[in-house]
Structure 1
Amino acid sequence: MKAIRRFTVRTVLPEPLRPLRELARNLRWSWHPPTRELLRSVDPDGWAAAGGDPLRLLASVPADRLAELARDRAFRRRLAAAADDLGDYLARPRWYQRQDPVRLPAAIAYFSPEYGITATLPQYSGGLGILAGDHLKAASDLGVPLIGVGLLYRHGYFRQSLDRDGWQREQYPVLDPNALPLEPLPRPDGTAVGVTLTLPGGRPLHARVWKAQVGRVPLLLLDSDVEGNTAEGREVTDRLYGGGSEHRLLQEMLLGIGGVRAVRAYCALSGHPAPEVFHTNEGHAGFLGLERVSELSGRLDFDAAVETVRSGTVFTTHTPVPAGIDRFERGLIARHFGDDGELPGVPADRVLDLGAETYPGGDPGVFNMAVMGLRLAQRANGVSTLHGAVSREMFAGLWPGLDPDEVPIGSITNGVHAPTWIADATLAAIGPRLGGEEALALGDERTWAALRDLPDAAVWELRRVLRSRLVDDARVRLRKSWLRRGADRLELGWTDDVLDPDVLTIGFARRVPSYKRLTLMLRDRDRLTALLLHPERPVQFVVAGKAHPADEGGKRLVRELVRFADDPAVRHRVVFLPDYDMGMAETLVPGCDVWLNNPLRPLEACGTSGMKAALNGGLNLSVLDGWWDEWYDGRNGWPIPTADGADEDPERRDDIEAAALYDLIEQRVAPRFYDTGRDGVPAEWTGMVRHTLATLGPKVLAGRMVRDYVEQLYGPAARAHRAATDQAVRDLAAWKDRVRRAWPSVRVDQLDAAPPDSGPEVGADLPLRARVALGGLQPSDVDVQLVYGPVDDADRITAATVRPLKPAAAPAPDGTAPYEGTLPLTHGGPFGYTVRVLPTHPLLASPAELGLVALPLETEGMTAGVLR
C-alpha cells in the first residue's frame, strides 16, 4: 500500500557519536577523504546502499551498530580527531586572512541559480552549477568570506533514463529538505526565517530560507513550497529551469530580490559581516541589483542609487550566444514591477530601461537579463580569454563608441576544485610530491613542477587503475540501464565484457545542446567502426549527457548515439551511460585516457570537464575553444582543426571536422598510446601525462580562479563601494548626466604629426598636437589619448598602443583646448595613429565605462593618420 505522505525521521545518536551529525551536515566531507572514510566506516554496506550520503546512512544505521560504535574507543578517537580537524579548518586563518584587509571586502554575496556541491544535494543541471559549487568550495579552502545564495528546488533537476528505443525519459524525484544536508535558518524564537515578495494585485509569495554549510561558506537556499502560498506559488521553486516564461521570471525575482533579503537576515542573525560586493553568476540573479536600489530609495534618487549598486557589483556571463540569455516580454516585467507589484519605490519605466536592448539589432519588445546585469555592474567578465573576446563582441552594442576589443568586459578563466575532482588514486600518486592541501588550493606552479619526475611505470599504472575502475563502473551502470529499458537479465550476459581495461578510452560527457555536437563522432559510421574494431589499436568510447526536457532536437541526438551503441557489432566498444551526474563523473572523467570536446567554435564558454580530466592525467582532444584555446601547448593533447570557412554550410563543416577527428585518433592518438617499449609502457604517452599534470594542474584549479576574482574583481569592487559615499554617487550621477548631454559637441578639431621631409624611421619620435572641442566640459572631465600602431590594408590599427596627451594651455574662449605629446614610431611598414577623447572620472572603473568616444571628424574608427 502506498503512503499518502512521506517525511524523514532523524536518528537519535548516542552522546559519544553526536559529532557525526556535524561532520555529515558540513559538506566539507564531500571533498575531504579522511572525513568521508570515517563516515563510511560507520556501516560500509549501509554507505553503499545510501549512495555515499552520510545523512541517509545515519538514518538507517541499526541501533545495535550505533551502540557498538559508542563503545569502540578507537572509533571515538577517530571521531574526535575528525571533529577537531573540522573545527581547525573552520577557525584557522587561511590565504585570505593573510592578505591586506584594507584592500579586500569584508564579505561577498555570490548568487547563482544552481549549485553542484555533491550528488547528495541535487541542485544542478550542468557546468554552471558545478562551477558555482567549485567556486564555493575553493572560497572555503582559501578563507574567502563568501555567502552563497540560490533556490531550493524540490524536484532538483531531472533523472534521466532510456526507453527500449533509446529515447530519453525524465523523472523528477521529490526531495525532502529534512533529509538533505540543510537546516532552516532560525530566528531567536526558533521559527524559520522567511522572505516575502509582492506579486501583481498585492498577492504575496513567501519563501523559507534553508542553509547548507559548505566548509566555511554558508549557502542560503530559498524554498517557496511553504504554507501561505497558493498552489502556483508553492511550485515556483519546484524544479530547475522548468515552467514557462512567467514561472522563470518568478524564480529569478525570488533568487535576486528574495536572495538579498535572505542575506540581510542571515547577517543580522549570525553576526556575519555584511557583503560589500555582490557577484551575479549569470543573469538569472540580476534582480538583486533592483532590490539594492530599493534599499537606498529612502535617501538617494534612482540614478545615484544605481551608481552605489554598480560600484560593488560583479557580473559574470557564461553564455557565448544570445539564445542562451533569459529575455522576457517588457509587458510582463512592467506588470510585476508596477505600483501594485514588487519594489513600488522603484519606477517601472526605469527598470525597463535597464533591460532594454537599445543597440542595433536589439528587440524593443523584450527585457534582457544579461543587459540589465551589465548595466547594474561596474565590473564584468567572461569565463575564458576567448569567451571574454566573444562577450565583448556580443555586447558591443552597449558601448557604441568603442571597438569590441575595448568593451569593458574582462575574463577570468574558470577552474575546478581539485579535492573534489582528483581521484583518490591520483591523489595517492601525486599528493606526496605536492606537499599538502595548500598545493591543491593555491596552485603554485613551482610545486606542481615536481610532478615532472614521476616515473613512467607509476604514471602508466595509475592510468590503468583509473581506466579499470571506469570499466567496472560502466558495466554495472549499463546493466542497470538495460534492465530499466525492459531487458531480461538472461539477455545481458554481454554486459560483463563491455569495454576493456587495456584499450584506449575516450570520454565525452556533458549537456546535449546542438552546438556541443554529441553525434559528430557518428558522421562516418564506417570509419568510426573501423577505429573501434581496429585489430591492433582499438579505441573505446564512454559517452554520457542529458538533453533539456524541452529540447526535442537534443533528445534525438541522444537516441541517435544510443542506437549506434546498441549495435551488437560495436556495443562492447562504445557505451552510453544515462543519468550523468557528479557521482558518475567522479569515476568517468578520471578513467578516460582522452577527453573529447568538439563544440562549434567559439560557442564553448569554457568547458571545465576537460580540466577535470587534466587533473587526473587525461589528455584533451578538443576544438580550440574555451579554456583549451588558451592553454593548449602542443604537448598536453591534440587540437581538432576547425573548418571556419565553412560556417555557412553546417553539414559540410561537420563533415570536415569529423574527418579531422578520425584522422587524429587514427594517425596520432592511438599510435602513441599503443607504442610501448619492452617494459610495456608507452614512454611518449606517459611523458604527455606528466607534462599535463605539471603544467595544467596549477592553472585549472578553482583556487587559482577564486584568487583571480579576489584580486582582479572583488578587491577593486570593495574599494569602489567604499568610495561611493552618498554625496559621491550624487555627484557622479550628475556628472554622467552632464557629460552625456555635452558629448555630441565634443570632437577632435585639428591633428598634426607631420613626418620629416626625409621620411620617418623606426625609433623616431614625432611631435604631435591636437585641438579638442570640449563642448562645455572641463579638461578634468576628459582623457585625450593618442592611439597608434601597425595598420592593415583597410588602415585599421591592428595592435594599438594608447598613451595620454597633455593639455598645452587653458581652454580658449571658444571652448577648444590644445593637447600635445609625441608619436613614437615603433614599427616599420604601414603605421597609423589617431587621437580620441573619452570621459574620465575618479569613480569610473575605466574611461570606456560610458561608451562615449569622440574621434577626428575625417576618420572612421581609429585611422586618423597613416605613415607608409
Structure 2
Amino acid sequence: MKAIRRFTVRPVLPEPLRPLSDLARNLRWSWHTETRELFQAVDPDGWVAAGGDPVRLLGTVPSRRLAELADDRRFLRRLTEASDDLDDYLNGSRWYQKQNDEGAELPRAVAYFSPEFGVTAALPQYSGGLGILAGDHLKAASDLGLPLIGVGLLYRHGYFRQSLSRDGWQQEHYPVLDPNELPVSLLREPDGTPTQVVLALPGGRSLRAHIWQAQVGRVPLLMLDSDVEENAASERDVTDRLYGGGSEHRLLQEMLLGIGGVRAVRAYCRLTGHAEPEVFHTNEGHAGFLGLERIRELGSQGLEFDAALESVRAGTVFTTHTPVPAGIDRFDRELVAHHFGDQGELPGLDVGRILQLGMETYPGGEPNLFNMAVMGLRLAQRANGVSTLHGAVSRSMFAGLWPGFDPEEVPITSITNGVHAPTWVAPEVIRLGARQIGLSRTEEALSVGDSQRWDTVADIADTDIWDLRRTLRQQLVQEVRERLRASWRQRGAGEAELGWVDDVLDPGVLTIGFARRVPSYKRLTLMLRDRDRLMELLLHPTRPIQIVVAGKAHPADDGGKRLVQELVRFTDDPRVRHRIVFLPDYGMRMAQKLYPGCDVWLNNPLRPLEACGTSGMKAALNGCLNLSVLDGWWDEWFEPDFGWAIPTADGAATDDDRRDELEANALYDLIEQHVAPRFYDRGPGGLPDRWIEMVRQTLVTLGPKLLAGRMVREYVERLYAPAAHAHRSLDPDAARELALWKARVRTAWPQVAVDHVEALTPTAVNGTAELGATLALRVRVALGALAPDDVEVQAVAGRVDPDDAIGEARTFPLKPTGGPDLEGRWVYEGPLALDRTGPFGYTVRILPAHRLLATHADLGLVAVPSETTGEAAGVLLR
C-alpha cells in the first residue's frame, strides 16, 4: 500500500547534544570540514547513507547511539568547540565590519535574487553554473560579514536526476523534495501561522507562497514555495521544478521570484529586524520584475512612475551571465500584458509603461517580445558581465539600447566570477596549507584572498605536492569505480558482468576532467572528432591519458541528449572503457571529488560563448592545470606557466565543420606534444619537476584571483557601495528632479546639433603633426531649449583605422566661451593633446549631463557632427 501522506519523525536530542541541531540547520557545515567530521563521528554508516546531510542523519540516528554520545566526554568536547566556533563565526567582526569601522560608505544591506542557488547537494535547488555561482556568492558574503539576503524559489522537484538507458540515452527523474526533510525552516508570523506572499492573477485568482529560510552562515536565503493548500492545482505547481513548463509557467515563476521576492524580503525584515536592503542585485534577468514591485511600493508612497523608476534604478545592480541572445527569457508581449494592470498584478502601474521596459525597441529586435534582460538593464543603473571578455561581448550584444555610442562605451562593466574555496578545495589541500601556515591563516587565505599567504605555497616541498596530487587522483579513481558500477546497474547490467569496472582508470595515469552542462556550444564531443587519434592517446604505451566526463543535457534538448549518447557509446567500447568514462547525474557531490582528483581540466567551448567557466577555477584551486580555449576567465588570466591555451579558428571564413576539425587537431597536438610529456617526464629525484612547478604557479598566481571572496569584495566596492550612495542621494525630491530633467532633455534633444568644428591652430603640414602638439578646437553647437548646464561637449580623439573609426579613444571636455549668439548657437573651445603617433583622428559630440547621472550614456542620447559639419578629420602624427 502507498501512504497518502509522509512526514519525518525525528528523535529528541538529549540536552547535551542540543547544539547538534543548530550546527545542522546552519549550512556553514557544508564548507566547514571540522563540523562535517563531527557529524560523521555521530554515525559513520548513517552519514554515508544520508549523503553527507546532517539533517537527514539526525533523523535516523538510533536513540541508543544518541544516549552513548551524550555520555561521551570526548565527543561533547568536540561538539562544544564546533558550537563555539560557529558562534564566533556568526557574531565576530569580519571584513565588512572592519571596513565600516574605518568609515567606508557601505550598503546597510543587499538583497541578492537568483532563480537557483547551489549551496549544498543537501539542498538541490540548482542546475548548473548560475546556481553554483549564486551559492558561492552567498557563502563569500557570509565569510566577509556582508549583510546580504538571498532570494530564490523552492522547487519541490528541484532539478532532474540523470541516469542512462542501456543504449546510453539520458533519462530524467524528478524526486519529490519534502521541505521538512531539508535544512530549511518556515518563516512564521508572531502567532505561529506561516508567513505568506500573495500575487494577483487574471480572473480574480491568487498565487500564494510560503517562505522557507535556509541559513547560509550569516546569510539568510529566502525561498518561495507555491505548494500551498489555498492555491488551486495550477498555482501549486508554479514552483514544481527548476526551468520547467511553458512560457506562462516560466512567467509566473519569474513574477513570483521578482515581485513575490521583494515582498518576502519586506516580511523577513519586519519579523526579524534585519536592515532593509538599500541595494537589490538581480543575478540574470529572471528576477527582473523586482524593479516593478519597488516602483509600485514608491508609488503607494506618492512618488510618480518616472521618479520612482529613477529611485529604483539608482539602487539596482544587474548581472548578465549569457553571451548569446538565445539564453535570455523572452515572453510574448500580450502574455505579459495579460498578467499586469487592473486585471492582474501591480494594478497601480500602467501596463504600457511596464511593456516599454522590456520591449526590444532597437534595430534587430523583435517588436512583440518582452525581453527579461532588456528590462533588467533598463531597471538597473549598474550592470556587469562575469569576465572581462564577457563584459565586452555583453556591451556589443546590448549596444542597441544605447544608440550612437560605441560598444566600449556601453555602461556594462565586468566583475570576473570567483569560486568559494572552502567549498571546493579538498580537505587534504587545506590540511597541507595548515601544516605550512596554520589552519586559521589557511582558512582566511581561502576566504578573503590574502596573496601573501598564497605565496607560501612556494615553500611547500615538491614531494608533498606530488604526494597530495597522487592521493587525490587515487580518491577519484575509487569514486569513479563506485559511480560507474552503480550507473551500469541502473542500465540493467548484472554484477557478474561488471568485473571490468575494478580496472577502470589507473591512479598513475594522467587524468583529464570535463564536466559541465551540455548545450551545443560547450562541445562535449569535440574530443571524439578523430576517434582513432583519441584512442591512440588513451592507449599510448608510455604516456597514456584517461578522461572522466560528466554533464546533463536539458530535458527538452534532444540535440544535447544525442551528444551525451554519442559520448557514452564511445566510453562503452571495451577497448577504451578502462581509460574514458561518463558519469551520470553530475552535481555538487560528484564535483567535490572530480575537481581535486583531475590533473588537467579541459574546456573547449565555442569562443566567446563561455561567459566565465568557473569549473576550471575550482579545479585550479586544487592544483589541477587548465587546458582550455581562451574564453571566459582563462582568456583573462592564462599564462604558459600554469596551463595551456587551445588555439581557435574564429575567422568568419571558417565554416563550423572546418573550425571543429582544426580545433580538435590542436587539442590532440597539445595533449600529445606538451601536456602528456610534461606529466610523465621525471627529474633526477624521480618526480615530474616541471609539472609540479606548474601546479605551484597555479596556486600562487591564480589562487587569490579565483576566490569568491575577491569577487564579492569587488561587487561591494565597485557596484554595491556606489549603488547605495546613489540610492541615498536620490530622495523623493531628487528623484523627481532627475525624472523631470530627463523628460525635458528627451523632448529637446532633436534640436541639439553640432553646427561647425574648426581648429584654431594649424593641424598639420601636408596632413601630419608633431607628437606632443596641442590642437585648439572651436565648436559651434545648437542646444535648442537646453542650456550649457544640461550638456557636456566633448572632443573624442584616438588612433583611426582605414575606415576612420576611432579606437582607444580619449575624451577632452570643451567649455562654452560666452552666451548664445544671435542665432541661439553656443561656441565651445578647448585643447586637444596629440599624444599618440600614427594615424590619428578626432570628432566632437554633445552628451546630456546632470550631477545625478551615473554615466553620460544613461539616456542613450548623443549628438555628433554630420558629414558636412566643419573639419573633423584625421591627421597623421610622427
Instruction: Give TM-score, length-normalised by structure 2.
Output: 0.97
Letter in 2 for 1:719: H
Secondary structure in 2 matching 1:543: strand
Query: Could you tell me which of 703, 723, 743 is aligned with 2:709?
Result: 703
CA contact (8 A) 2:445 2:451 kept: no
Match of 1:828 in 2: 837
Cα deviation digits, residues 341-393 of structure 1 (max 9, x gap): 00100111111100000011110111000000000000000000000000000
Query: Could you tell me which of 589, 597, 601 is aligned with 1:595?
Result: 601
Distance in 1 (CA, whole Å) between partners of 2:812 and 2:22 is 58
Secondary structure in 1 matching 2:541: coil
Distance in 2 (CA, whole Å) between partners of 1:125 and 1:349 is 34
Query: Residues 290-305 of structure 1 correspond to what in structure 2 (within 5 A)?
Result: 290-298=292-300, 299-305=302-308
Query: Could you tell me which of 223, 232, 254 is aligned with 2:256?
Result: 254
| CA-based RMSD | 1.4
Confirm or deny that 1:793 pairs with 2:802: yes
Cα distance change, pair 694–805 in 1 and its aligned pair in 2 (3 A): same
Distance in 1 (CA, whole Å) between partners of 2:652 and 2:533 is 22
Moved more, 777-786 or 260-269: 777-786
Query: Could you tell me which of 418, 423, 430 is aligned with 1:420?
Result: 423
Confirm or deny that 1:674 pairs with 2:680: yes
Moved more, 68-77 or 467-476: 68-77
Aligned length: 868
Distance in 1 (CA, whole Å) between partners of 2:29 and 2:451 is 27
CA contact (8 A) 1:858 1:864 kept: no
Match of 2:816 in 1: 807
Confirm or deny that 1:38 pairs with 2:43: no
Query: Residues 77-92 of structure 1 correspond to what in structure 2 (within 5 A)?
Result: 77-92=77-92
Deviation at 1:296, TM superposition (A): 1.2
Match of 1:731 in 2: 737
Distance in 2 (CA, whole Å) between partners of 1:357 and 1:756 is 45
Confirm or deny that 1:272 pairs with 2:274: yes
Distance in 1 (CA, whole Å) between partners of 2:640 and 2:830 is 44
Match of 1:755 in 2: 763
Match of 1:849 in 2: 858
Moved more, 804-813 or 226-235: 804-813
Confirm or deny that 1:306 pairs with 2:315: no
Secondary structure in 2 matching 1:755: coil
Confirm or deny that 1:538 pairs with 2:544: yes
Match of 2:15 in 1: 15
Deviation at 1:130, TM superposition (A): 0.1
Secondary structure in 2 matching 1:800: strand
CA contact (8 A) 1:647 1:653 kept: no
Confirm or deny that 1:720 pairs with 2:726: yes
Cα deviation digits, residues 555-599 of structure 1 (max 9, x gap): 000000000000000000000000000000000011110000000
Distance in 1 (CA, whole Å) between partners of 2:862 and 2:33 is 55
Secondary structure in 2 matching 1:437: helix
Query: Could you tell me which of 124, 131, 134 is aligned with 2:133?
Result: 131
Cα distance change, pair 817–861 in 1 and its aligned pair in 2 (3 A): closer
Secondary structure in 2 matching 1:208: strand
Distance in 1 (CA, whole Å) between partners of 2:192 and 2:581 is 51
Letter in 2 for 1:542: V
CA contact (8 A) 1:325 1:368 kept: yes
Distance in 2 (CA, whole Å) between partners of 1:563 and 1:457 is 39
Distance in 1 (CA, whole Å) between partners of 2:104 and 2:630 is 40
Distance in 2 (CA, whole Å) between partners of 1:861 and 1:425 is 70
Distance in 2 (CA, whole Å) between partners of 1:214 and 1:671 is 44
Cα distance change, pair 313–736 in 1 and its aligned pair in 2 (3 A): same
Cα deviation digits, residues 318-339 of structure 1 (max 9, x gap): 0000000000000100100031
CA contact (8 A) 1:833 1:862 kept: no
Structure 1 residues without counterparts, runs of 5 or longer: none
CA contact (8 A) 2:341 2:348 kept: no
Secondary structure in 1 matching 2:346: coil
CA contact (8 A) 1:797 1:862 kept: no
Question: Which of structure 1's runs of 4+ aligned residues deviate more than 3 A?
Answer: 431-434, 756-759, 859-868
Secondary structure in 2 matching 1:644: coil
Secondary structure in 1 matching 2:838: coil
Query: Residues 222-241 of structure 1 correspond to what in structure 2 (within 5 A)?
Result: 222-241=224-243
Moved more, 752-761 or 707-716: 752-761
Cα deviation digits, residues 115-149 of structure 1 (max 9, x gap): 00000000000000000000000000000000000
Cα deviation digits, residues 274-316 of structure 1 (max 9, x gap): 0000000000000000100111113111111111110100000
Cα distance change, pair 543–646 in 1 and its aligned pair in 2 (3 A): farther
Secondary structure in 2 matching 1:801: strand
Deviation at 1:862, TM superposition (A): 12
Query: Could you tell me which of 385, 389, 398 is aligned with 2:388?
Result: 385
Deviation at 1:742, TM superposition (A): 1.3
Distance in 2 (CA, whole Å) between partners of 1:422 and 1:552 is 34
Cα deviation digits, residues 238-258 of structure 1 (max 9, x gap): 000000000000000000000
Match of 2:367 in 1: 364
Confirm or deny that 1:465 pairs with 2:482: no
Distance in 2 (CA, whole Å) between partners of 1:2 and 1:200 is 37
Match of 2:336 in 1: 333
CA contact (8 A) 2:111 2:151 kept: yes
Match of 2:186 in 1: 184
Distance in 2 (CA, whole Å) between partners of 1:106 and 1:351 is 29
Confirm or deny that 1:285 pairs with 2:287: yes
Confirm or deny that 1:529 pairs with 2:531: no
Secondary structure in 2 matching 1:848: coil
Match of 1:777 in 2: 786
Match of 1:64 in 2: 64
CA contact (8 A) 2:316 2:380 kept: yes
Cα distance change, pair 647–94 in 1 and its aligned pair in 2 (3 A): farther
Match of 2:644 in 1: 638
CA contact (8 A) 2:755 2:870 kept: no
Letter in 1 for 2:32: H
Match of 2:503 in 1: 497
Instruction: Give TM-score, length-normalised by structure 1.
Output: 0.99
Q: Percent identity?
A: 71
Cα deviation digits, residues 407-448 of structure 1 (max 9, x gap): 000000000001001001111122444523221122122221
Distance in 2 (CA, whole Å) between partners of 1:431 and 1:586 is 20
Letter in 2 for 1:418: A
Moved more, 100-109 or 397-406: 100-109
Confirm or deny that 1:52 pairs with 2:52: yes
Cα deviation digits, residues 168-202 of structure 1 (max 9, x gap): 00000000100100000111111111101010011
Letter in 2 for 1:7: F
Match of 1:345 in 2: 348
Distance in 2 (CA, whole Å) between partners of 1:767 and 1:636 is 50
CA contact (8 A) 2:160 2:173 kept: yes
Match of 1:115 in 2: 117
Confirm or deny that 1:517 pairs with 2:520: no
Secondary structure in 2 matching 1:576: strand
Match of 2:629 in 1: 623
Query: Could you tell me which of 152, 161, 164 is aligned with 2:163?
Result: 161
Match of 1:375 in 2: 378
CA contact (8 A) 1:769 1:820 kept: yes
Letter in 1 for 2:763: P
Confirm or deny that 1:651 pairs with 2:657: yes
Cα distance change, pair 6–97 in 1 and its aligned pair in 2 (3 A): same
Secondary structure in 1 matching 2:546: strand
Distance in 1 (CA, whole Å) between partners of 2:15 and 2:872 is 78
Structure 2 residues without counterparts, runs of 5 or longer: none
CA contact (8 A) 2:31 2:422 kept: yes
Letter in 2 for 1:598: N
Moved more, 633-642 or 510-519: 633-642
